Structure 1
Amino acid sequence: MRSTLRRLFAAAVFAAAPVVSFAAAPTPAAANKSASPLDAARKALDEVGDMHYQNKSLSELVGDLKEKTRVPVTIDPLVYQFGLDPSQPTVSVTAKNVKLKDGLQQALAPFNLKCGLTRDGLFISTEEGLITKQLRQRVSVDCDGTPFATAVKQLAADCGANVVIDPRLKEKATASVTLKLDDVPLETAVRLLAEVADLGTVRMSNVLFVTTADRAEKLRPNADGPTQPAPGNPVFPFPNGGPDRAVPLPGVIGPAGQAIGGPVPAVEVVKPPEAATAPAKPEKP
């Protein structure tokens, strides 16, 4: 019952999510070839203009953002499990002289949705989903005597994540590190680089804070633990003979509230046969 109510509430929330647009915002100029894709995205999201939408849908918002900013926009697929239908009309939004990123954050906030930049563009999800997406982006590291701060700042710049180096570290932040990693989460790479530099790392919400090992230990009780991988769409392992035929678990809710993988199968309860009762022995006279 509680699970059903949660799902119905989430569906209602997503269906009512406001959409925003920059009706008067100029189209960003072509990005400088030397600028990274994330730098171009940041510049586009800092554009100031008038936000004006009347009874538009989330799909229209995403399409408009892509067209006006040239930034890829992705909605976390996991929110579809709550019955999100991006084609449904939403409330109207009107605001003037605001940055696109600020207006979008304000529009999404009442519905517990966030948006943030990743290496793949703008990502819309819950706060937890956005943190997981940003800090678990896959990276590779190949440092050979590279200053620690240089390596970490480059990773953060390439991924759009918040990695803060304690300014009190001074020369310890420039210690040379040698480390090679292939296809690991960003958070793992930062933690291992810090370990090689004899430093510590704690996560506070969407920020990885690098400081001395002692300070990190003091902060740890009030900090957040390492991020966990986002749950994937559950599947039956290798039905019908092969991994290419794996199917979603029955009853999982997909886009527009449609069940994927078929309905939840009914379970027939078979009662065990009653034990045979031995005939009563006749009483002796």
Structure 2
Amino acid sequence: MFVTVKAFYGQQPFKLVDDSNKWYEFGQLGGWGYYDLQLVRLTYFFDGDTTINGYLYKKLFYDKRDTIYSDPPYIQDSYGYAAAFRQDSLKVYFVKPDSTIENLYCDFNMSIGDTLKYYYNNEYPYAITSIDSIQYGNNYRKEYKLNNSYSFYEGIGNGLGLFHDFSIGIEGGVYLVCFEQNEILQNVYQFWGTPPECGLTTNLIKEKHLKSNNISIFPNPFSETAVIEFPNPDYSSYNLVVTDVTGKVVKQISNIKSNKIVFEKGDLSGGFYLINMKGNKIFNGNLIIK
């Protein structure tokens, strides 16, 4: 078994966890013949930081647009929190939205025969069969070829997407089309034919959702109470809505006329929650209850 890797010496590890990173995915789900029941365009991007168990993480969000029966435009649009990520040298860790437990996403110090667990909702252990390289901008990144005929890229992730996002239907699937870092956009499409366009941009996303770091929550995680602070210089009225990871509304506070409130856990159980503060502007964030 030969290993072909081009000059990585002296090169700093590529950061999978970086504010400039964006993953563009495309998929056809559950189709028959030439007719797809659903087409999906999915973008992952980092926006803001959070602290979990004493470690600083970057918050990963997604914007998903889909259409039914292959009929553009993409009429359904959803946005949400995907996970918290941090990178320690060559190791990348993540925490799921409904948990405070850290998982190893990957270790880029891998050799032939090592097993890579590509997972999110389920685990998919794959063995590395060879190591090659791909050019990205002016540098080369390692390409770990797996025994499922796909690849895992240094600082990017799996060719099937950052996570295994959807169940595969009778035909079709979801896969990574493009990756962007420091405004360099790279086609990483592994399949036959002409790759789909990269599609979404986070500029469109941020027109609708202000950056989550406009809202401050301390401490977070917390046990009983946390202070939520947000920009509200004229003390106009805001409403706070708290949802769990399924989207169910679990708590609401109306007519907030200040820039700071003390949030009480009350009867909420431990876990991850999304908060939406809506008034003249919209602020989003997350709560983690121990």
Give the alignment's TM-score, normalised by structure 1. Answer: 0.25
Give the alignment's TM-score, normalised by structure 2. Answer: 0.25
Larger proportion of strand: 2
